[in-house]
Structure 1
Amino acid sequence: MGEQRRLAVVSGGGTGIGASVARGLVDDGFDVIVVGRRGDVLDSAARRICAEAGRDGAVTAVAADLTDPGQVGAVVDAVGERAVDAVVNNAGGYLGGSTDSLAGVADWWRANLGANVLTAVLLTEALLPALRRPGGRVVLLSSIAAQRGGAGPYSAAKAALHGWAYDLAAQLGPDQITVNVVSPGYVAETEFFGDRMTPEGHARRVAATLVGRAGVPDDIAAAVRYLVGPSAGYVTGQVLGVNGGSVLGR
C-alpha cells in the first residue's frame, strides 16, 4: 500500500474561493474534506473537482453549520483517525442586518461574528488534536476590510481573526504548526456580493488596484497553497494581503 495522502479540511468549500482552494490542494496531492451548510452545493463541487482531477474520492463533502458546536463533530468524524495536515478556514461572508434598534444592531453583529469568527474558532479547536505534529498548517481567510474598514461588523469580525491568529501561532509554534492569514482584496467570480455588485462598483474596485484588474479565486488559492505547502514552514503569524495593491503592506 502506498503512502497515505495528506489531508486538508476547507470550510466554505463549495463555491468561489473555497472551491478553488480545494481544487488546488487536490492538484497538490491532498485529499480534501469540504465543509459548508449546503450539502447539495458541496456534493456538486466534490464531484466536479474529482472529475477534473481524475481522482475519485479525492474530495469528501460534509454538510455542517460551523456556528453550531453540535454540528462540528461531523467534521471530526469524517477525519477519523487520520492526521490533518491543513485547516483552511474560508467560511464566512458579509451579512446584512437592521440598525433600527439596539436589538437589531446586536443581532447584526452577532451574525457576522458568528459566521466569520466562530466558524473558524470552532472548526480549528475541534481539529487541534488531529493536526499533524510537526508540520500542520492553519490558514484563516480574512478580508481587505479588516485593514481599511468599510463594512461595519464584517470588518471587525475579519480583523478579530488577525489577533486570534497571532495567539494561535504562538500556541502552536512549539509543535512546528504554522498559522497565517490570507487577506483578499476585491475578488470577482464569487457569491460574496450577490446581487449587490454594480458595473460602477466593479470599475471602482478595479481602479483602486495597482495592477488594473479584479482578483479571481485562483489568486487567493495560490496564496493558500503556498502557506500550506512545504516551502512555508518558516512563515507563521503573518497576514498576507492578496489585493492587487489596493492596500499596501504594513
Structure 2
Amino acid sequence: MTDRLAVVSGGGTGIGKAIARELAEAGHRVVVIGRRAEVLEAAAEEIGADRTIPVAADLTDPAQVSRVAERIAELGPVDVLVNNAGARITQPTDDSLAALADSWRQDIEVNLMTTVLLTTALTGRLRRPGARLVMISSAAGQRGGAGPHSAGSYAAAKAAVHGWALGLARQLGPEGITVNVLAPGYVADTEIFGESWTPEFHAAKIADTLVGRAGTPADIAAAVGYIASPAAGYLTGQIIGVNGGAVLGR
C-alpha cells in the first residue's frame, strides 16, 4: 500500500466499483462517492475497508460537492480522479416541451454537471506533477443517441464531457496532469439500462460489436488502470473507445 489517493464517483456499483477495486489493488487508497451510503459501505467492505473510504453525496448539489472536497482535503493530494457518476434518465413524462426540457436538464445535470462540479472542486487538490483525470463517458457521445428524447439528451451530455475534458487537458497539461476520456460501449453488468434491458436488447447490442460479446466492468476498469498508471504519462487529451468495435476510430 502506498500513500497514493484515488477518487471514484459512482463507485458503489457496476463499472465504478470495478474501477475502485482495480485502483485499490494497484495500491491506492480509494474514496468512493455515491448517493446511497449503504451501497458505498457494502462496496468498501467488498474491496477492503482498510483501503476504501465511502463518502455519500449527491454530486448534482454544489454544497454537497464542496463538503466532499473538504473531506478529501483531509486525506492528502489526489493522484487519480475518475468521474464515473452518471445515469440514463427515463423518457419525458408526456409530449410537452416542458417535460422534454425537464428530461434534458436532468441528463445534463447528472451526466455533465456532476463531472464539472467534482473536478472543479478538486482541481486544486490534484498532485502536481503526475495526477490523472479520467472521465467515463459513453459510445453514445461519439455516435449519437439511438432513440428520441432522453436517449438524445444522454448522448449530448456525454459529448459535452468530451469537449470540456479536451479543454481541461490543454489547461492542466503544463502542470503535469493528464486528462483523458473513456467512452465505453455496451457493458451488461450495470444498473444504467433499468427496465429497458431485455434479452432482445442484449442480443442486438452484442451483434453491434466486432468481438461478439458484451463488455464487462472489468474491461473498463483495466483501461482505467492503465490510464491512471505512471506508464501513461504521455497519454492525454484523448477520447478512448472501449466498445468491442461498435464505434471505430474516433
The amino acid across from 2:115 in the alignment is A
Which 4+ stretches in 1 moved above 3 angstroms?
A: none
Q: How does 1:147-186 map to 2 (within 5 A)?
A: 147-149=142-144, 150=146, 151-186=151-186
1:70 aligns with 2:70: no
Q: Which 5+ residue runs of structure 2 have no aligned equivalent?
A: none
SS at match of 1:183: strand
| Whole-angstrom CA distance in 2 between matches of 1:93 and 1:184 | 14
Residue in 2 that maps onto 1:247: 247
SS at match of 2:179: strand
Residue in 1 that maps onto 2:208: 208
Q: 1:97, 1:107 within 8 Å by CA — same for their partners in 2?
A: no
Q: Using structure 1 for the length normalisation, give the TM-score.
A: 0.95
The amino acid across from 2:83 in the alignment is N
RMSD over equivalenced CA pairs, Å: 1.1
Pairwise CA distance, 1:152: 0.7
Q: How does 1:35-184 map to 2 (within 5 A)?
A: 35-50=33-48, 56-81=49-74, 82-98=76-92, 99-149=94-144, 150=146, 151-184=151-184
Identical counterparts, % of pairs: 59
Pairwise CA distance, 1:74: 2.6
| Whole-angstrom CA distance in 1 between matches of 2:71 and 2:46 | 20
Q: Which 5+ residue runs of structure 1 have no aligned equivalent?
A: 51-55
Residue in 2 that maps onto 1:53: none
User: Could you list the per-position Cα deviations for residues 220-246 of structure 1 after superposition, in whole angstroms to 9, with x for gaps in the alignment?
Assistant: 001111111111100000011000001
| Whole-angstrom CA distance in 1 between matches of 2:88 and 2:26 | 30
**Number of residue pairs the alignment of both structures matches:** 243
Residue in 1 that maps onto 2:13: 15
SS at match of 1:152: helix
SS at match of 2:196: coil
The amino acid across from 1:11 in the alignment is S
